[in-house]
Chain A
Amino acid sequence: MFLVVRLATAKKRVLEIINSAKTDNRKELLEMESKQLLEAWGIPVNRTLLAKDVNEAVRIAREIHYPLVAKIASPDILHKSDAKGVIIGIGSELELRQAYNDILKNAKAYKPSARITGVTIQEYLPQAREIIVGAVQDPSFGATVMFGLGGTWVEVLKDISFRLAPINVEDARDMIKEIKGYPVLSGLRGTPPADIDAIVDLIQKTGQLAYEFPEITELDINPIFVFNTGKGVMAVDARIVLGEGK
């Protein structure tokens, strides 16, 4: 019963976020919204709060604690790194004030017409193995879920696996083992194994999300940090594109 109520609440929250973007006539959610949506769906995300001005950024920083990550929030800038809109490892208030201004300046230089919502202040996570989990609506097969090692490698190596959603535990486990890079996760030369169960759960939830909401035409959670067994996973960036659905 509890689960049913929780699922209903999650669905309601996801729809709220989707509808709010639709009302604004936006096809792509802001990073902040994507993360709120994932969080509502039970997918862990790093703490991300929106600062509309530099003083708000400083206030948020006190709550989240240094070191921090700051990223541009704009519906018109999809590739934040290309716009030099991401600064990581911010260690103090002084650095944060500087970073905030730099990010705004860079964004304006990159695309003068861009609407700037603000800057997101995010929890900085220790280095971990990175994975990517995504979903697309295939015109013939419907909701499909994708898995691969994260970072820039995924684009070059195309070492990714697919399944139809929704997906059971066994298939999710197979998906992880199927990629050539699997030893990176299972533990190489004395590295402790990554939290595979948490990845399985994440893949299943992502699949379920795409299956329940055909209007989510593209979903990319990249990167997701994977910690050692028992320590879980955490989504650090996410991109959600909306379409007509079925």
Chain B
Amino acid sequence: MTVELKTLFEPKSVVLVGTSKLEKEDKVYSNLFHHLVQNLASFKKGKVCVIDLEGEIGGSYKNIGKISNGQDLALVLLPKKTLYKNLQKLLARQIKSLVLIESNLEEKLIREIANIIKRKKMVLLGPSSIGVINTANELFAIPEKMQIRKGRVAFISQDCCVTYNALDLAKNTGISKMASISDFIGSDESDVLNYFSRDKETKAVCIYVKKVRDGRKFVKAIQETVPEKPVIILNGGAEKAKIFEAAVRQAGAILAHDIQDMLNGAEGLVRQPPLRGSRVAVVTNLDGQAALFEKYLFEEGLELARPAEDTAQKIKKKYPSSKMSAFVNLGAAAKADVFKSVVEMLLSDDNVDGVIIINSLKSTLFSIEDLREVANVAKKSREKPLVATVLCAGDNQAVKKIILNTELPIYYQLEEAAHVLNMLRTRGKQLERMNKARNP
């Protein structure tokens, strides 16, 4: 059964239950509670009610009895010893969805809670959940201080540490929504995926799964999502990995190697059209790196494009110092104007399915300003993908700004870019197959 999750992501009323004055080993609960209270201060699309059971947070109540019935979303952050008693009071208040953050609970108690939730037809996230995020209405219902930007990628995770890691890695590109779920009870990956598949702000969904509860339900949810938006999965379970991976791939999902790869792929897929063939042209100012890239490309099952004779001649005529070998080397002196026009020529060549720009910001005249200008070509290319790697960029803030403000997916490593191209190709093949199935 699929559960409706609207009250979880778009609550009109939120209640937060915790204690701000715990000491010793329970102090961490109070710390997290403070973060949660602060994070929810930015939520303006609904009413937030804080219950501070033993503390004095300004504007808070001390008693669950004070809240009115029928709250949309309740977040509970209490240690085991006080949890159940308060949870019972809370559940009597007819709340519609519940996030359980505590992880240290006995299975028997969890099952009991789950049964109540099921009977009352409520939504449950957790236990061991770190909550939900919806950047569209600025609902940051997580117990950690983090900077989270509005983005187009949604994230579902069965592990809270992986979630924090992913949120940290996505702080530059942002996310649309996030749900931290339990791997055995409450709303599952399929329920959340069904919700994200209909979400307008979400253009791609990333999922970290340790153990899928109902494989066939998950397959169906993926199949229903992928015609509209790509689903990228990172499998955290070693047991029967081959069957899991084959099943989700068959359903149309794309597999990632690690958290960074999952986010890289999602951003690439959101920003650029899929690769309709396997031929990728390389434009560079560095011979050595381009040669190394060829190796990675080959490992990903892709190949270097051989531009048509006509295109090659045009490039050579316009830029006599360029070298046309397996890739187009424009030389260390090439600036944005040269890159832009060559990339455009290659993108309109029938022998080319996609283009990658490999640049170094060291030992060349290519600068951040050039990168910013070149990035604009990516906006125009809606038929074939354009991606870039910027080497020697380090922690360059200007590059991050370009990634944020343009549609060009930029990566810092050649392998990363090669694997994203593979993902773009996989997506291309999947769409072809879906089209064929629709119009045989």
Contact = CB atoms under 8 A, between A and B. Distances in A.
Interface string A128-143: 0000000000101110
A138 B242 contact: no
A144 B243 contact: yes
A140 B246 contact: no
Interface string B228-253: 00000000000010111011001100
A164 B246 contact: yes
Interface stretch (B67-75, B192-200, B214-222): B214-222
Given A164-B247, A164-B250, A171-B250, A141 B242 contact: no
Given A164-B219, A171-B250, A138 B243 contact: yes
A141 B219 CA distance: 8
Contacts of B214: 140
B243 A141 contact: yes
B250 A140 contact: no
A171 B223 CA distance: 15
B215 A140 contact: yes
Contact of A163 (B212, B216, B244, B250): B250
A188 B212 CA distance: 40
B433 interface: yes
A160 B243 CA distance: 11
B215 A141 contact: yes
Interface of B is mostly: helix
A88 B190 CA distance: 52
B246 A162 contact: yes
B89 interface: no
Contacts of B219: 141, 164
Nearest to A175: B246
Contacts of A171: 250
B215 A163 contact: no
A141 B433 contact: no
A181 to B, nearest CB: 16
Contacts of B240: 138
B433 to A, nearest CB: 7
Contacts of A164: 215-216, 219, 246-247, 250-251
A36 to B, nearest CB: 29
A151 to B, nearest CB: 20
A138 B215 contact: yes
B243 A162 contact: yes
Given A161-B246, A162-B243, A162-B247, A142 B433 contact: no
B240 to A, nearest CB: 7
A7 B247 CA distance: 27
Interface in B412-440: 433
Interface in A112-152: 138, 140-142, 144
Contacts of B247: 141, 144, 162-164
Interface centre among A138, A142, A161, A162 (most CB of B within 10 A): A162
B213 interface: yes
B215 A142 contact: yes
Interface centre among B211, B213, B215, B433 (most CB of A within 10 A): B215
B251 to A, nearest CB: 8
Nearest to B213: A140
B74 to A, nearest CB: 30
Contacts of B212: 140-141
Interface centre among A140, A142, A144, A170 (most CB of B within 10 A): A140
Contacts of A140: 211-215, 244
Nearest to B211: A140
A164 to B, nearest CB: 5
Interface of A: 138, 140-142, 144, 160-164, 170-171
23 contacts: A138-B215, A138-B243, A140-B212, A140-B213, A141-B212, A141-B216, A141-B219, A141-B243, A141-B244, A142-B216, A144-B243, A144-B246, A144-B247, A161-B246, A162-B242, A162-B247, A163-B246, A163-B250, A164-B215, A164-B219, A164-B250, A170-B433, A171-B250
